[in-house]
Amino acid sequence: MKKTFVLSALAVLISAPVMAKTWVLTDAESGTDKGNWQISSQELKASGDAFSIEQKVLHGGRQEGSKVITIRSKSGLTIALSPTRGMNLLKVEGFGSRMGWDSPVKEVVNPAFINLESRNGLGWLEGFNEMMVRCGYEWTGHPVRADGQLYTLHGKAGNTPVSRVEVEVADAAPYEIRVRGLIKESTFKKADLQTLTELRYVPGSNSFSLHDVLTNHADYPHDYQIIYHSNFGTPILEDGARFLAPMAGVSPFNDYAKGGLKAWQTYAGPTKDFDEMVFNIQPLSDSNHQTLAAVVNKAGDKGASIAFNTEQLPVLTMWKNTDTLKQGYVTGIEPGTSYAYPVTIERQQKRVKQLQPGASTQFDLTYTLLHDHAQVAEVEKKIAAIQGDKKIDVSDTPIAKE
């Protein structure tokens, strides 16, 4: 496999390494599609932690034609993501734990079999089973009819097959792996937003990062929104599990969530007839605008954390869905530019951002699978340091009403 430098101007924006081996698995422009494909550290003669990268094309049911890329690290993480579903992360496993959850949706549903406008704009739920879904970028939030159209639940990016997929492995230790995908949200007379997504992982590590660059390719300004809908179930989520984050304030999303405000940072076990509760958080950050949020189990020896930049992602949503295991026992930690209200409300409250023609913006997040007491304690220490002596404003009044 020949060595290559950065393949495109977009790749420059996310600082790809200078020397690496690169494979193009999909390219709509040239009609490239490698289908089933794999490479391993053994084939690359890479020393250190053994790893493999595989793309598999799925068959049967509503996952017909869906693709899954899986990174496997012998002493680290196994990370699965889907180019068919906007490079969403399906699940992450390792160190006796996992990031992800058990949805009633078991297949990696091909968007070709989903009508986002069904159920009054809730069709997105028919494919929802991922550990992380990109909700955006043209819009996000609850569905609403406005401007002569139906804004469906959480936008289209997570149900858009990517136009280009690249896998890259650095030539030297620690052999960092990068997987890139290009999401195009291009509609005549509407939008031409393109997002180059990139996942970076060093084999053997218990963390990975996302570096996404959103560019407005149109000749006119365009609004954008994004929520990184990150979801966690067992074994991290359980009775007595806790949510952690430094914050200036928190409020319930709606009147139903007001009933859970007193114990909003702790979780119940699976509970039949528990409807979802959502809480809007104003995150605090350090002097470099860095912050993190986490969910940890009762014993404090398992958890997942997300580090992000509050200049890029200024708001944080916590979603509790502690329903039965079969129904979907899950919590969401969701950094974003917006809360989950309909786009009309987010516009009114001036949280919808805009990109000028040709302009780009970047989103950087780091996910860590915590797997012992020391790691959980370190996250708690970092959160406490950012919080300092700042008092949290707990309001029982939702900031908006749908």
Say if residue 6's pLDDT is above 60. no
Identify the CA nearest to 238 among candidates 309, 296, 192. 296
Say if residue 4's pLDDT is above 80. no
- pLDDT, position 9: 44
Report d(CA 344, CA 337) in Å as an integer: 14
Task: Report the SS3 class of residue 258.
Answer: helix
Say if residue 2's pLDDT is above 90. no
Tokens of 188: 């005549």
Say if residue 267's pLDDT is above 80. yes
- pLDDT, position 332: 98
Segment 330-351 mean pLDDT: 98
Q: Over the chain, what is the mean pLDDT?
A: 95
Sign (positive or negative) of CA dihedral 287, 290, 293, 296: negative
Q: What is the pTM of this model?
A: 0.95
pLDDT tens for each residue of 39-96? 999 999 999 999 999 999 999 999 999 999 999 999 999 999 999 999 999 999 999 9
- pLDDT, position 13: 46
Segment 137-151 mean pLDDT: 97
Determine the topology of domain 3-394 in CATH. Answer: Beta-galactosidase; Chain A, domain 5 (2.70.98)
pLDDT tens for each residue of 88-129? 999 999 999 999 999 999 999 999 999 999 999 999 999 999
Range 364-381 burial, b when 16+ CB lie within 10 A, else e: bbbbbbbbeeebbeebbe
Say if residue 3's pLDDT is above 50. no
Place of tokens 């040239």: 30
- pLDDT, position 19: 85
pLDDT tens for each residue of 181-190? 999 999 999 9
Identify the CA nearest to 337 among candidates 124, 138, 116, 81. 138
